[in-house]
Structure 1
């Protein structure tokens, strides 16, 4: 019996010699043969494909380029900042200081980095709150406000209801108010 270490979840996989090696990790269901490593250095981005078949790479290249293009574009923008004389380490430490002082730190839905609170805004005057069937009042008041968060890595912008308006929605749905 031989053992393999899953590069994704770091779990030891024991497989029987008669059956042969596993193609997928039985714990995290990731492909064991298609593991890729991405090394990002201060000087640039390097992509190492260890044990990856060229034909398989060509078939999946369109998928990877489409999937990661937005995040890689953001990395290039940050690299442009450093090439223009900006200090990347100072930027990262400034982001960390801001995140430490935030009450909520949501993850970016695009790249999974933490987002910075940029401000808040009221819903537009044209907003007409709906009153769902079975409720006496709208889910959110007409004067509801949104918190605006910006991702420090890919600069994606997300909006969330402010805390008071979230509580209003919860009370309205649970009919406690």
Structure 2
């Protein structure tokens, strides 16, 4: 089971393991024990065709970023992987809502109800919810401004969307 060219199982394991870490950061020295604890099995590097853990981790640069040098190295998900994970979580949250939408002012509460944990934007590698939302393609979510609030929703089929006047997406009824 080689990683290059066909790594989805190991990539998914990495994402699942890292999302449970505070701010998605883990010292490299904690990787093997964390993997063993999380999956109740040994992470055998040789199963993936490598002889060193660092080589295996470096083989998935689209998912994992290695920060620092030597024994002080930290593992974190790449920006792309974090945005993809947030997008999946956001769509789950929106589908959890009866109206398939949530106002930004209600986002923290909706997140808690959906995932049974507090919303922490740092868990997705950003400092602001609006910055995260700006990373998601317009075809995936719709952002509208209603009264004094911003509303995030799942685009409706056949909905006419257009870029206009500095707003990311405007919806015309």
TM-score range, shorter chain: under 0.3
**TM-score when normalising by structure 2:** 0.27
Answer 1 or 2: which has greater helix percent: 2
Bigger relative contact order, structure 1 or 2 (CA pairs below 8 A, ≥6 apart): 2
- Flag the structure with larger Rg: 1
